Structure 1
């Protein structure tokens, strides 16, 4: 029963992440919700809720304990602004200019960027798996972004730039979080990072500067889904699944996130998706599965699987 519960939690969390991106696209396109406002509000409320989960069910002393050491506090602030806020804003901006499917798949370039970074730093050696992973990512992105024709891009250039930046931000998020996650629970680190990121962005996009009374009830429902289900519950379920499943299993089952984003974008929002884009999607999904199944995956890439965005906080 414990294993079945873990499988249910990780798949549900991944589905919420993927669908959350598509719902955010709906908010941007149909209700003209500002990207900055949504990111600020989403991070603030989800961060507070995750810290509340830690307070009620886990080691509550860590909530304030993370601020007792100056070095850790500075690392947490940097992680919150450059890591958490960086990932969330670039991902949402990519959705705003393009669509959730492409934004999510481009964000999954993060493991490839980590591989390249570790190779440049000579912290790992090039393996056959690395070569295949990079080739799958390149081929997948080519088909995804061009639909097989170099004459015209299938999505706006702004969406591509923000999507690639999202992948780079997620790579930084993954690598920088490792020492913090060795000392404190993931809910504490991610919860505080969300709050810090939201407070930093609130100087530019205050969460109270929006006419919520002009929105229909449908928009409120979408906002609740993005904040509660697509962020807070998605991350919580993913972390809880690690109690009964191996990190590699959660990573593999978590690949349902990009699939959920693609299918809901195509079939719910009716976004055009060409045959070659499906081939590109398949390449990137296969790349994710290859990384999850690989026995020689680096510990830093594995950390991405175990301590993801709200992710992925996507």
Structure 2
């Protein structure tokens, strides 16, 4: 017998939490766990339709919450590889059919891909695949018809500490932990941020963001140094009005403080939203990252589109 009691009940299901009844078709890439999973739940709790792109359809077999949404028709799961353009396009097409249909389009794409952190005596801390975020963003930019879908909003979850200016503002203990445990992931995300800067039309300042050597370009990008000319890659600045980048501090599994505010739509956020992380900023819960992204895409897009922000308490 199906057991939909396996997971804790959804937070806030007894409250009315619909920011915008017109926004209801969401595609999540990298939503099987972690922050992406919380983002998907945050949309689902507000009655929006969500399509997941996952490597294995059995991912949610033991997840009572998602299975209940699948049974109710609110969730569609597309099996595929987020690094393969054809599979990313398949997820887009699946989301079109799942939501309001091609005439409506897809309201928002949440990109939250991440690899598996490991350790070996020979190499130390590793990330598998080593360029998963970079290649995933390349596949997304080159395969989805974002430029012909101007109403689609794209939110990309990156990280704090990726750039020298952000890393230097981290508290001392967090800098040490980042230097040891997150270097491979941050190397990947820095390469991915270079792609974002290209499609957003942001100037890449080597002094602020760090240079990406030719050898690293060959290793990280599909197409090596020719990634700019890769078929389907948007022109410089083409997606500025359609994207927002979120760079959270240390992620935790804590509660969603945003759900506890009296007025989610107009009230002040219980976390800081900054253009550069403060020196006393430490962490934020995955649920509050999700809270911010849902709020930004549904009621604050004019404020956050074309920007990159840091989140922390």
More helix by share: 1
The structure that is strand-richer by fraction is: 2
Normalised-by-shorter TM-score class: under 0.3
State the structure with bigger RCO (CA 8 A, min sep 6), 1 or 2. 1
TM-score (norm 1): 0.24
Give the TM-score normalised by structure 2.
0.24
